[in-house]
A and B are shown apart, each in its own frame.
Chain A
């Protein structure tokens, strides 16, 4: 793409992204919505977060990892364990990343 095309593409991306974020905040009245959808949307945020995280942990180049010696999986398990133990966001991030790096560089996985 030429720089000017990238420029317009970027503008479009900004508009689309903002419209999605503001979608339910723009109208003055509550949008009429069937009850099941209203209920279901309660689960959408957790589903979104989970859906973003899971592929990052178990896929390599779009393929399921085929070895148990993957440092990311152990990093994630360590992170989950720390979260279950201390309920600390900071500890989860540092601990999980630490375990992943230790396995990658320490054991050469």
Chain B
């Protein structure tokens, strides 16, 4: 898993170096924002001198998927004090989430979920920061044709597979994939939001259709 994160981090770092924002600011952003997809989405906007709110709106759209993650974490972390919950959520990411849910598909009271999460998240954070700063500093030395970014995509693909636990999740994955591709032309990376909404809508309708037998009056 670390390979995927590391490769993806280097790619993100190189992209940041090439955007011409300068090494200190690029490192500052990586350490503080800690969201690869949001950082990469914001680069062309910053380079193009877009208004600040456009960059923020894009960040919001890219980060909306984290809201779904935080919803799922809630039962696991609800007993912790609030500052700790917020600190944990800062470390949330796609990789952590998929690994965590794979390890603990159901919430059973009394287990130390926060320790598993923290261990996993800190390793991820460390690898990510090291690789992205390597990318930022090495910058132009790494050609895009190496396909490092593809390793990151493969990592996410593998994680997607770990979440395919029931027929409904297959439907969700396929609907979201199609919608994300079809809606790609939307600005602000809204295609991700559209895809999630479409998949959730289809699956809820499907569950309801199955719950009430065909032809039954509602």
Chain A residues in the interface with B (C-beta under 8 A): 1, 3, 5-14, 16-18, 20-26, 28, 30, 36, 39-59, 62, 64, 72, 75-76, 79-80, 83-84, 89-90, 92-94, 96-97, 100-101, 104
Contact = CB atoms under 8 A, between A and B. Distances in A.
A54 to B, nearest CB: 4
A5 B50 CA distance: 11
Contacts of A16: 56, 59-60, 63
Contact of A49 (B3, B73, B98): B98
B89 interface: yes
Contacts of B97: 45
B180 A40 contact: no
A13 B176 contact: no
Given A45-B69, A47-B176, 9 more contacts: A9-B56, A13-B39, A18-B90, A25-B74, A41-B200, A47-B195, A49-B159, A96-B154, A96-B157
Contacts of A75: 150, 154
Contacts, number: 262
Interface in B42-92: 42, 46, 49, 52, 55-56, 59-60, 63-74, 77-78, 82, 85-86, 88-90, 92
B191 to A, nearest CB: 7
Contacts of B3: 90, 93-94
A4 B208 CA distance: 52
Q: Give the interface size class of chain B.
A: 35 or more
Nearest to A33: B71
Contacts of A79: 154, 157-158
A2 to B, nearest CB: 10
B30 to A, nearest CB: 10
Interface of B: 1, 3-4, 7, 21-22, 25, 28-29, 32-35, 37-39, 42, 46, 49, 52, 55-56, 59-60, 63-74, 77-78, 82, 85-86, 88-90, 92, 94, 97-98, 101, 145-147, 149-151, 153-164, 168-169, 172-181, 184-185, 191-192, 195-196, 198-201, 203-204, 207-208
A89 B162 CA distance: 9
A22 B163 contact: no
> What 3 pairs between A and B have smallest CB-CB spacing?
A44-B68, A47-B199, A54-B177
B106 to A, nearest CB: 12
B163 A45 contact: yes
Nearest to A58: B181
18 contacts: A1-B49, A6-B29, A14-B32, A21-B70, A22-B70, A26-B85, A39-B207, A41-B72, A46-B160, A46-B199, A47-B173, A50-B176, A50-B199, A64-B181, A75-B150, A76-B153, A92-B154, A97-B147
